[in-house]
Every structure is written in C-alpha cells, then in structure tokens.
Amino acid sequence: MKKRVVLIATSLFLCISCENKPAELSQSSDNQSVEQFEQQYTSVSAETQQEQPKESSIFKLIKEAEERGELPKLDTSTDLRGEEVDGIRKDVFGEIERRFKEKYRGKGNIYNSILLSAWVDQRLFEIDPTDREQAKHYSILWELDVECRGDSYKEYYIPVIEKRYNKSYPDFLEVKEAAFEYFEGLDEVLNAGNLTNTLTYNTYERVKYFNQVNKSLDGTVNSSIPEEAHRRGLSACQVLEKVKEYWEQGKDINSIDYLQIIDELSKE
C-alpha cells in the first residue's frame, strides 16, 4: 500500500512563518530550490512512496509550528485539486481569508486580487503539464495575476500616498518616507501571491506537477497580454475576472481567448 509524501515547498516557510519561527526551520529552508528540497526531504522510489519519518527534525518542527498557528494545517492528500471553494482549494481559501480579509478590508480590490491569485494557481491542474502550448497559454494567467495585484495596489494606495505627502505620483517617490511606504506596501501585496503559490503547491505530487509545467515552459518569453490590457485602459484584474467568469460558465481554461476578452471589455 502506497503512503503519501508530504512536501512543504521551501518558500512556504519564508512566506508565512512569523517572527518566532524556529531558527532551525529557517536555516533548513532558505536558499534551496524546490528540486533540492525534494531530494533532501523526500524519498521516492519507482515502486513505493515512503512517508517522512515522524521522528525527523523537520517533521517535528512543521507539526509544532502548525500547533502554534504559525503554519497552516493544509490539505496534504494525494488529490491534486482537493476540495474547492469558488475555484480555490478550501484550506487555501481559509488561510487567505484569515490573513488578508481584515488587513485589506475597505482597501479597493486588493483582497480580491489575492483570491484571484489563488484561483490562478489552482487552474494549473487543469492543463496537461507536458503540453508546451497549454503551458504557454496558462502562463499568461500568471502574468495577469502579478499585474492584477500590482494594479489593485496602485489603484488604492497611490491616491492615499499622494494625499499624505501632498505630491503626485511618481513625484512622491523622491520623498524617502513616501517611497519606502509605497514600495513596502507593494511588496506585501506581491508577496501575498507567493504565499498563495506555496500554499497551493504544498505536496510532493503538486510540486512535481508545478515543476513539469515549468519544464514545459523552458525558453518561453512573456506575452504582451497585460501590456495590451493596460494600453486599452483596462486593468489586469478586469481581464482575470472575465476569464474566471467564462470558466464558471464551463469553458475550458485552455481554450479561453485572452485577446478576445480584452476586445470585449474595451467595447463595454
């Protein structure tokens, strides 16, 4: 009988551990690639997947951090998608809600952009990871996701900082305090996407799937889809929300035409 392997992606610890994170946990996860982490903390043969020994130091640290509430208790089943809520894995949705709902309440579209980020991460499991064309089509969602979080942050915070320092953007960036406030806040929102990524790809099977998509994308350059949306006066979030709307209507994520969506939104 096969046993599941639980792999916590290295950046999970960097993204979501709090100030009291044990030093040993930090040292064991910093500066390692996902592939290195797989080799160090998993033992997988062609025939059998061996569960991590419960007496191992990394296992104990993870469980202790979970009990303290410093790490979330995630779905670690072998089911790639798990149970979904609004297209997001249920445990991931709950962790995003716990961390960000109040933090960004009343702050424009920021919270929704983080939910969209988790929604995009989950769609990875709807493509053939070995199909280069499907991987390229999917990667545009990643591009839109990053731009969406950036757009939502700027839409809300630029007017706030302009008012606080009585300077227009980008002139307020010449003020040290204003520039620090702006970029610190932007980093927080962008890093929230790193969090949704590592929460979603949190087991050996899920990381392996993610890695295969990246291998299929080797040599691929970014598309011009986000730039085209901006050129037409649209935010990346508008495009992503329309993609999600089509998906909810039953359209295959691999067949949704992003340029067609931009055309439709431009005419509204």
- Average pLDDT of the residues in 178-205: 95
- Reply yes or no on whether the pLDDT at 198 is more than 70: yes
- Top pLDDT among 219 and 200 is at 200
The answer to whether 237 and 222 are in contact (CB under 8 A) is no
pLDDT for position 66:
77
Q: What's the pLDDT tens digit per position in 125-168?
A: 999 999 999 999 999 999 999 999 999 999 999 999 999 999 99
pLDDT for position 35:
46
What single letter denotes the amino acid at residue 83?
A: E
- Residue 22: left (phi > 0), alpha (psi -120 to 50), or beta? beta
- Whole-number CA gyration radius for the chain: 20
pLDDT for position 65:
79
Residues facing 89 on adjacent strands: 84
Q: Which of 106, 99, 102, 130 has the alpha carbon at shortest distance from 211?
A: 130
pLDDT for position 55:
53
H/E stretch holding 84: strand 84-85
Q: What's the pLDDT tens digit per position in 9-34?
A: 334 443 444 333 333 333 333 334 44
Q: What's the pLDDT tens digit per position in 38-48?
A: 443 333 333 33
Q: What's the pLDDT tens digit per position in 204-258?
A: 999 999 999 999 999 887 899 999 999 999 999 999 999 999 999 999 999 999 9
Q: What's the pLDDT tens digit per position in 71-97?
A: 788 998 999 999 999 999 999 999 999
pLDDT for position 56:
61
Whether the predicted model's global pTM rises above the 0.85 cut:
no
Return the DSSP state at 172.
G
- Reply yes or no on whether the pLDDT at 52 is more than 70: no
Residue 70: band (very low, low, confident or very high) from pLDDT cuts 50, 70, 90 = confident
Polymer length in residues for the chain: 268
